[in-house]
Amino acid sequence: MSQHEEGFHKALRQAAHYFNFDARDGHFNIDEDVYQGSVMAVEDIPVAGQQKPTLED
């Protein structure tokens, strides 16, 4: 496990403790983030000034 993943899990355990939720329920994924109100894969989130190619490209 990388240091970043371990740090994420440490922060998740702390958040679960402070906000009283089960961090082991499988909803948390370090490869996802919230973008414009939706949870999506990090690689699908556009980078400022760049667009992902579409099927039409």
Angle, CA of 34, 56 and 38, to the nearest 5°: 10
pLDDT tens for residues 28-48? 787 899 999 999 999 999 986
pLDDT at 52: 59
Quick one: how far is CA 8 from the chain centroid?
10
Residue 57 clears pLDDT 60, i.e. is over it: no
pLDDT at 2: 86
Q: Which helix (H) or strand (E) holds 38?
A: strand 38-41
